[in-house]
Chains A and B, each alone.
Chain A
């Protein structure tokens, strides 16, 4: 079917396009305007802004920690409205709700950034139940005994590459992530803090060595997404040193920094670095990124209110347990990574929360390259992804920002530059921040843009000066060329696909890993596999994503 999206302001920074015009769609793809054919369907986009569907790179939407958070805080996920064509569309925090809420906002792809290989099947089953979106997950490595043994024994790059490839293939990951590499292992052996070059007990390794090996492996395998790195010392004063040191340790290799806001904390009082609080290091982080074009980051923007922090960084989550609000928390010292779930309240108008809020915005507003500065809240760690429209509003509207800043404590102006920044994001820059940037980062060339040949994942928003309202409920959203949202309501509950890299695993490493797993679990690779047969559908669940050649 030929569809014409007619008369909207078409915003596609990848094509330098920002003007009123049409977008044509056929068979799930964007096509060039046909010269002699009439459309089968016309969508009136007059007065609207037309963008590619949003792409999420870092949102905790599936997996063991997410499940645990629902069980720890049943009060946080109550259902508030009756279903509308899907029995669980309004089941707060559930898969149906996640898919529907993203789709209403114009997002069509979302990535869970923390999939431990031991729980890949559960994570992939949960992702597959998220309707409307294409989804994917990053395979987490960096604390597993098998990997650490190989590194400790100095086996070299090929062995690490083969083990990483095997884990990605078995878990059907879209990329590779390391989370405070070595930190979970160190925690189990009594450590309470870990920096880049601290020795990890029992292995004689460091975060630098583990991360360096993973950086190499990702490049050798040809994973399109650079190694996704959660650094040491998240959230501590001086965490900016950790991020910059980690960037230096990458030595020019591609690297993506997760939730950089939580590291943009410079020591405020050098005499009392751990007790004197922090000040914004946003400019330092942005400057470092601008001089390292191979690096990228996502924000982890804080928003005010109750949330729950979920992380495989059990070292950090254990450290943060005493700040839990309400005062309960779960720490699961799991196989390899484990996980920590700590409820948290970003106090509205609280000085620390306010400064965190300012720093996230500051990084985006200071950035010289929005395509490498991806909007996330690290859902739910900085707050829910449902706040994206409000964050976009603040980026686009200096007056709205000033009104918000005026209600916040003075520390925001004292310890950050936020109040002095005049910049207002354009639609093109918003598209870079939420569409073209994350798509390029994930290596998904078929989305994040509106060029001919691209996947027809398209969001059409009414051009409303109230940007919060505008980006909360799209007028139309198309997924693979089908209208799934109309006037902010889901009209077609389609299933998307789970995006997984096609990676060849080495037979010798398979045999070796089988032996390791049998010794450890009494079970082999089969018990970790993610076969199509596990999914209760006769339709394909996965879509292949090729590695770089």
Chain B
């Protein structure tokens, strides 16, 4: 196992002990990234709960753009395979979704299920040359007949209203909460007379896996803090980037067993980095190389094509620990330093 402490190569035990020391002596540690397999995400929440850390994800801003709208107005949505199988009209909002392979697939196929099966699929595009949220508001007003001034908007509104099954693709990071709220309102309006669903295009991180784990583990979404021992969700307060810039955090755990852009603040804090193939000695104070899930080790990952979780077996044998294993070892070392007992007691008690 490759591991480094303060740039010097070391063995696994020494790296784990150094990580435990670093994290358990911090007053306000943050766990960030979480671009990893479900087992590692789960282990990270468990450890955060024990030591009073806060948690954020690599795609936190985009995730909370969606969640903000969801908690205000709800959503009317469909997964990619349903949109590809059923939609006879698709509206792509902004530029970011154009990078999604789904758009190419939609362009090259026709609906095959439901009442639109066999129909030609029309694809419309709302460009981001103006404020997207305002444009969606205008489109919604045209769809409701409150505005008629923009012929292009009116045509798009007519196309979506006359579709048998419409879909609206957007990128939450690009569109923002207010835009998503308006977009969901548009989809809800259209469902008064036909079927239309929103589809949030994933940013490629494991945020959607983390969201599920966070929800069933803490009852809340991803950005939670355990400083008062109970999970408290606060999208602003537990934004890891903000915490680091504001000087609130005094240590970090960076969890990225999958390739992940690193935040600029990473080297400004004493950090434990659990990373995959891009591990390097100078990445953080403590660096531990872990297996990349789905390639070097097995793991449960978000499956974009299915909009769900799937287990991915390793493609190749690799003598690398999983991130979950390392976090469990750190947790055991932290417990040995006198921290509270946690969920591992559940498994261990069976041995009693």
Which residues of A are at the interface with B, using a C-beta cutoff of 8 A?
62, 66-67, 70-74, 77-83, 85-88, 90-97, 118-119, 121-122, 125-126, 129, 131, 145, 185, 187-190, 201-202, 318, 324, 328-335, 338, 341, 492-495, 520-523, 526-531, 533-534, 536-537, 539
Contact = CB atoms under 8 A, between A and B. Distances in A.
B164 interface: yes
Contact of B216 (A72, A92, A129): A129
Interface string B330-352: 00000000001111011101100
Given A67-B215, A80-B230, A87-B342, A330 B77 contact: yes
Interface size class of B (residues with CB under 8 A): 35 or more
A62 B231 CA distance: 19
A61 to B, nearest CB: 9
B77 A332 contact: yes
Contact of A331 (B76, B218, B219, B305): B76
Contacts of A187: 195
B276 interface: no
Contacts of B281: none
Given A79-B230, A91-B217, A534-B300, A188 B79 contact: no
A-B interface, 10 closest residue pairs, ranked by CB to CB distance from nearest: A87-B49, A536-B39, A79-B230, A77-B219, A94-B219, A328-B74, A534-B311, A93-B219, A527-B310, A67-B215
B81 A521 contact: yes
Given A87-B46, A534-B311, A330 B219 contact: no
Contacts of B95: none
Contacts of B300: 121, 125, 534
A341 to B, nearest CB: 8
Given A121-B310, A188-B165, A494-B346, A71 B211 contact: yes
Given A71-B211, A94-B216, A94-B218, A520 B85 contact: yes
A74 B324 contact: no
Contacts of B212: 67, 122, 126
A332 to B, nearest CB: 5
24 contacts: A67-B216, A74-B221, A74-B233, A79-B232, A82-B229, A85-B341, A87-B226, A88-B219, A92-B219, A96-B343, A324-B74, A329-B74, A330-B70, A332-B75, A332-B79, A333-B76, A492-B349, A493-B343, A495-B346, A495-B349, A531-B311, A534-B38, A536-B42, A539-B347
A539 B309 CA distance: 21
B314 to A, nearest CB: 10
B197 A333 contact: yes
Interface stretch (B113-121, B172-180, B267-275): B113-121
B303 A62 contact: no
Nearest to A116: B308
A333 B82 contact: yes
A91 B305 contact: no
Contact of A70 (B86, B164, B215): B215
B191 interface: yes
B309 A125 contact: yes
B43 interface: yes
A522 to B, nearest CB: 6
B72 interface: yes
Interface of B: 38-39, 42-43, 46, 49-50, 67, 70-79, 81-82, 85-86, 113-115, 117, 164-165, 191, 194-195, 197, 211-212, 215-221, 226, 229-233, 298, 300, 303, 305-311, 313, 324, 340-343, 345-347, 349-350
A71 B220 CA distance: 7
B195 A188 contact: yes
Nearest to A480: B350
B216 A520 contact: no
Contacts of B114: 185, 188-189, 201-202
A130 to B, nearest CB: 9
Contacts of B75: 330-332
A80 B230 CA distance: 7
Nearest to A334: B79
Contacts of B341: 85
A292 to B, nearest CB: 36
Nearest to A484: B349
A71 B309 contact: no
B229 to A, nearest CB: 5
Given A67-B216, A190-B194, A87 B115 contact: no
A341 B310 CA distance: 24
Contacts of B46: 87
B324 to A, nearest CB: 5
Contact of B308 (A81, A83, A118, A520): A118
B218 A88 contact: yes
Nearest to A522: B305
Contacts of A86: 342-343, 345-346
A206 B308 CA distance: 29
Contacts of A82: 229-230
A189 B310 CA distance: 29
A334 B78 contact: yes
A539 B350 contact: yes
A494 B219 contact: no
A67 B218 CA distance: 11
Given A71-B70, A523-B306, A534-B300, A87 B340 contact: yes
Contacts of B218: 79, 88, 91, 94
A335 B84 CA distance: 11
A329 B343 CA distance: 33
